[in-house]
Every structure is written in structure tokens, then in C-alpha cells.
Amino acid sequence: MARLHLFDLDGTLLHGSTAPVEISRQLGLEAESVALDRAISEGRIDSPEYAVRAHALWAELTDAHVTAAFEGAPWLARIREVWAEIRRQGDYCAVVSLSPSFFVERLTGWGAHAAHGSRFPAVPFTEPVDPAGVLSAAAKVHIADRLCAEFGVTRADCIAYGDSMSDTDLFAVVPISVAINADRHLTGLATHAYTGRDLWEAYELVQPAR
């Protein structure tokens, strides 16, 4: 039976950073974005409000900024190698993230079968962000279920990789999970834990489960 590997982005594939922070850095607005990340992690704002504030922060954003943010981000090592191996095994890999779709979806170019983020308008923005398209921890489970149906697998065939509160709902419904450089929200929830900067090493932790 094939397996579906579900990867978070911020703090997981990105080491010690988030896509919004990397995007904001290109505009000289890193401090403002870090403050937004802190506000949502502390529960002072929810995901839709975060998206509306980020959208306002990025009024001058261009596709060139997004490309620079993506290419300069602190990615874990060997992401593409892991995804190539997952494909070689006949398994599937997908990224499900609360970060903007225009950043997350670029990861299909690295070998992910699917990449889902919060729906933002195209860059440069000419329309507002729709709060209804902003993802949450619960939405990650719904997307995982849709991907299971698409790829012909079940939750029992899923492995989740994450680092924080946005991954708790998904970790609770899959049999195997890897906490990568994780915070306190995943303590006791994950079946495996990894600290480091090489995705291959985290991936190897779940190979005996095959």
C-alpha cells in the first residue's frame, strides 16, 4: 500500500523561519512580520486576521520579491532528494501550510505531488484576501482527507511532518508523525522527533515503519 507524506512548511521545511517572514524581509518589513507570527502563535489573532494583516503589509509586493524570498529562504537540506525517493518508492508527498498559496505552490517544482496554502490573490495584489480561503489547523485535516481520496489511500497510510500548533489536529488523526524542530505544542503527540537541518535524516526515522 502506498503512503502519503504530508509536510508542513513554516518551521518544518523552513528552518527557524516562516514564508511570511522571508517574504517580508524582501520589503524591509521583517520585524513587522515577526510580530504578526508572535501574535498568532500566542492566540491573540486568528488565521484570517493574520492573512488580512499580512496582505496589507505586502501592498508593494512583486513576483520578483516572492522569487527572491523563496530562493533565499533557510530550507532544510535534501528536500528534493527526499521527495524523489518518496516517488521512487511509489508513495506520495504533499505540502499543506497556512502560508500564502503563491509561495507554497512553488514547491511542486521541487517534486511535491501537491502543495496547498492559504488562498491569496495573485501578486502584485489588485484585490483583497478572502478570509474564507485562509487555512487553519482543522483545514489541514480536511485537505489531507481530500488528498487521500485523490491518491487512493487512507488516513492510516499517512505520515505527517510538522513543528507547531497548526499541526496538532493532523498529528492527532494519523498513525505516524515526525516533530521537526518542534515547539511545546507537539510534545507527546508525535511518534518521532527530529532536531536538525536535514530532511533526509527526519525521513529516515519513519522508514522502519514500512
Domain ranges of the chain: 4-15+75-209
The answer to whether residues 152 and 145 touch, using CB atoms and an 8 Å cutoff, is no
- Residue-level pLDDT at 112: 98
- Residue-level pLDDT at 208: 65
Which among 3, 44, 16 is positioned nearest to 180, based on CA atoms? Answer: 16
| Whole-model pTM over 0.75 | yes
Specify the fold of 4-15+75-209. Rossmann fold (3.40.50)
- Residue-level pLDDT at 31: 96
- CA 122 to CA 112: how far, in whole Å? 21
**Sheet strands side by side (includes 192-194):** 114-118, 92-100, 4-7, 158-162, 176-180, 192-194
CA 156 → CA 4, 78, 132, distances in Å?
Answer: 9, 26, 29
- Residue-level pLDDT at 34: 94
> In sequence order, which residues have a C-beta less than 8 Å from that of residue 193 and are 6 or more positions away?
178, 179, 182
Tens of pLDDT along the chain (210 residues)?
899 999 999 999 999 999 999 999 999 999 999 999 999 888 899 999 999 999 999 999 999 999 999 999 999 999 999 999 999 999 999 999 999 999 999 999 999 999 999 999 999 999 999 999 999 999 999 999 999 999 999 999 999 999 988 999 999 999 999 999 998 878 889 999 999 999 999 999 998 654
Return phi, psi of residue 27, to 5°.
Answer: -105, 5
The answer to whether residues 111 and 80 touch, using CB atoms and an 8 Å cutoff, is yes
- CA 187 to CA 185: how far, in whole Å? 6
> In sequence order, which residues have a C-beta less than 8 Å from that of residue 171 and are 6 or more positions away?
160, 162, 177, 179, 186, 189, 190
Tell me the torsion sign for CA atoms 30, 31, 36, 37. Answer: positive
- Residue-level pLDDT at 152: 98
- CA 190 to CA 177: how far, in whole Å? 5
